[in-house]
Amino acid sequence: MKPEISHRGYEMPSSPIRKLVGAARDAERRGTHVYRLNIGQPDVPTPPQALEALKHIDRKVLEYSPSEGIESLRVKMSEYYSRFGMDISSDEIIVTSGGSEAVLFAFMACLDPGDEIIIPEPAYANYMAFAISAGAVIKSVCADINDGFRLPPVEEFEALITPRTKGILICNPNNPTGYIYSEEELLKIADIVRRHNLFLFSDEVYREFCYTDTPFISAMSLPGIEENVVLIDSVSKRYNECGIRIGAIVTRHKELRANVMKFCQARLSPPLLGQIVAEASIDTPEEYMQYVYDEYFRRRDFLIKRLNEIPGVYSPMPMGAFYTVASLPVEDADHFCKWVLDEFSHNGHTVFMAPASGFYTSPGEGRNQVRLAYVHNIDYLAGALDTLEAALAEYNSKTQKA
């Protein structure tokens, strides 16, 4: 006899990005090379300034940092935001252990069990995990792949609002779709947020990665909802340092900051070493940022063109971030993605994709879709897509025979 785990534990979804990790490892153990398009772990090197800062840490004690983060880092982040026309003081920034902890603490401090938030889908899967952690309920409006995943009509948001609705969450530029919300769309969201006095959680960790002429507009810049916005941020993607676990909650809502700080004090402090690296990263020269940008731009163009050449595959052109959601000529992408890892190889290769069903809460949505990350170089992407094309052909010929 042993004690029972929590119902919450049972309800927690497995990460759609990581749940096939075991199958991928098994494939590698069999000697198959696995192209990893499942996770946003870029192959781009971390900026040399950041790595250099590590080697020059001359502290004798690796001690706790302040619960809100090291002051010099928060001052630097404030300067960074000003480059984007965002007027944010260092006091309005609370450093977290990655954007993940920022989402968790924002939900914990804003939402009670049974409170509702509205999220356009497909959405970053871990929002659901953090909502379950906080006991909150996600209501979703569904973006359509055939519309390029643009914002669903605001009437659909309005229709979901109940007395328990506490907020709307957007990810902009969007993970997993790459969509960037237009000014018109953001003003419509701001209008709902203001009229219903909601929180607007805005995850903007892909701010630097906008490949279109649509200017990126931060929720922090939207008029009339200054104290409603809770910005989620992270240095992970921007400087290719996902492992250092440094993110932030930014809000002008003073009482909310005081409450978030209680959760921060309970966990004592964000990682010290990561903060030192993050602070050095903010000084990364423009050439590095431009190199990374150009690289993703080329990868995106290659990936989307090649995807749409594969019979039955469709991907809209993502405007930002480094993912796309593509539809495949299969009924059940969960089954297909697992099959590819378990049973398929093409010249010794297979491919690891994230089934998109895990990015939807609406049952049945996205069943034929996958999320692909273009965080590897073009040769790698070419190999991965050749493998995907061969896998689809074999899978569908088998299915039709069966």
Return the residues of window 101-140 that contact its own copies according to CB under 8 A. Answer: 101, 104, 108-113, 115, 126, 129-130, 133-135
Locate all alpha helices (DSSP H) within 135-271, ordered by sequence.
154-160, 183-196, 254-266
Which segment (30-38, 257-265, 337-345, 393-401) binds its own copies by CB under 8 A? 257-265
Q: Specify the residue, 13 or 215, whose C-beta has the smaller distance to its own copies.
A: 13
Of the candidates 183, 255, 283, 294, which one interacts with its own copies according to CB under 8 A? 255
Q: Which of 173, 176, 271, 316 binds its own copies (CB under 8 A)?
A: 271
Number of Cβ within 10 Å of residue 124's Cβ equals 23
Among left, alpha and beta (phi > 0; psi -120 to 50; other), residue 31 is left
Q: Which stretch binds its own copies (CB under 8 A): 263-271, 315-323, 337-345, 390-398?
A: 263-271
Helix (H) or strand (E) holding 338: helix 333-343
Of 49, 100, 362, 396, the residue at the interface with its own copies (CB under 8 A) is 100
The pair of structure tokens assigned to 147 is 């519309």
- By CB under 8 A, is residue 269 in contact with its own copies? yes
Subset of 273-332 contacting its own copies (CB under 8 A):
273-274, 277
Q: Which residues pair with 249 in a beta bridge?
A: 94, 232
- Dist CA 196 CA 338 (whole Å): 43
Residue closer to its own copies by CB (options 135, 329) is 135
Q: Residue 213 or 379: which CB sits closer to its own copies? A: 379
39 belongs to the binding site for its own copies (CB under 8 A): yes
| Of residues 242 and 353, the one with the C-beta less far from its own copies | 242
- CA 246/CA 271 separation, integer angstroms: 7
CA proximity to 126, closest of 271, 19, 50, 5: 19
CA–CA gap between residue 127 and residue 111 (Å, rounded): 13
Of the ranges 80-88, 241-249, 293-301, 361-369, which one interacts with its own copies (CB under 8 A)? 241-249
User: Applying CB under 8 A, does 227 fall inside the site for its own copies?
Assistant: yes
8 Å CB contact between 248 and 102: yes
Closest distance of CB 192 from its own copies, Å: 13
Task: Show the tokens assigned to 37.
Answer: 């398009």
Residue in 67, 202, 350, 368 binding its own copies, rule: CB under 8 A: 67
CA 28/CA 234 separation, integer angstroms: 31
Q: Compute the radius of gyration of the chain from its Cα atoms.
A: 21
Among 80, 81, 199, 374, binds its own copies (CB under 8 A): 199
Report the residue number, 3 or 311, with the smaller CB distance to its own copies.
Answer: 3
Instruction: Using CB under 8 A, pick the residue from 80, 209, 263, 395 that binds its own copies.
Output: 263
Count of residues of this chain found to bind its own copies when the rule CB under 8 A is applied: 87
Q: What letter represents residue 196's amino acid?
A: H
Contact in structure between 167 and 135 (CB atoms under 8 Å): no
Cα first-last separation, the chain: 44
Q: In the bound complex, what is the minimum distance in angstroms from residue 344's beta carbon to its own copies?
A: 24
Nearest residue (CB) to its own copies, 344 versus 360: 360
